[in-house]
Chain A
Amino acid sequence: MVEILRHGWLLARKDLLVEFRSRTAILSAVVFTVLVLLVFNFGRDPTAVAAVDLAPSILWVTFTFAAVLALNRAFQLELENQALDGLLLAPVSRASIYLGKLVANLIFVAVVEGVGLPLFALFFNVAILPVLGPLLVVIALATVGFVAVGTLFSAMTARTRFAELLLPVLLLPFMLPPLIWAVLATAALLAGRPLSEATAWLRFLAAFDLVFVTLAFLLFPATVNE
Chain B
Amino acid sequence: MLLAEGLGHAFGSVRALDDVSFTLHPGQTLAVFGPNGAGKTTLLKVLAGLIRPRAGRAQVEGGRRAVGWIGHQPQLYGQLTVWENLRFWAALYDVPEPDFLQREDDLLFRLGLQNYEHRLVRELSRGLVQRVAIARALIHDPRVLLLDEPFTGLDRTAAEESRELLAEQAAAGRVTVLVTHNVEEGTELATDVAFMRAGRFVHLAPRGGRDTAEIADAYRRAVTGG
Contacts and interface: CB of A to CB of B under 8 A. Distances in A.
Interface of A: 7, 10, 14, 17-18, 21-22, 77, 80-83, 85-92, 226
B88 A14 contact: yes
A21 B77 CA distance: 11
A86 B45 CA distance: 11
B91 A85 contact: no
A21 B45 CA distance: 32
Contact of A81 (B48, B49, B65, B73): B73
Contacts of A7: 92
A120 B45 CA distance: 50
Dominant secondary structure at the A interface: helix
Contacts, number: 63
Most buried by A among B71, B91, B94, B120: B91
Interface residues of B, number: 28
A216 B77 CA distance: 26
B92 A81 contact: no
**9 cross-chain pairs, A with B, having the tightest CB-CB distances, nearest first:** A86-B75, A82-B73, A21-B79, A90-B92, A18-B79, A91-B65, A91-B64, A83-B75, A226-B51
Most buried by B among A86, A88, A91: A86
A89 B49 CA distance: 7
A88 B67 CA distance: 12
Contacts of A80: 77-78
B202 interface: no
Contacts of B48: 89
B109 interface: no
Contacts of B88: 10, 14
B76 interface: yes
Interface string B30-70: 00000000000000010011110000000000011101010
A90 B78 contact: no
B75 A91 contact: no
5 contacts: A14-B77, A81-B76, A81-B78, A87-B92, A89-B69
A81 B69 contact: no
Contact of B75 (A18, A77, A85): A85
Contacts of B91: 10
Contacts of B22: none
Given A86-B69, A91-B94, 6 more contacts: A21-B120, A77-B77, A90-B93, A91-B65, A91-B92, A91-B93
Contacts of A77: 77
Nearest to A79: B73
A226 B91 CA distance: 25
Most buried by A among B49, B74, B79: B79
B80 interface: yes
A19 to B, nearest CB: 8
Contacts of B79: 17-18, 21-22
Contacts of A82: 71, 73, 75
B89 interface: yes
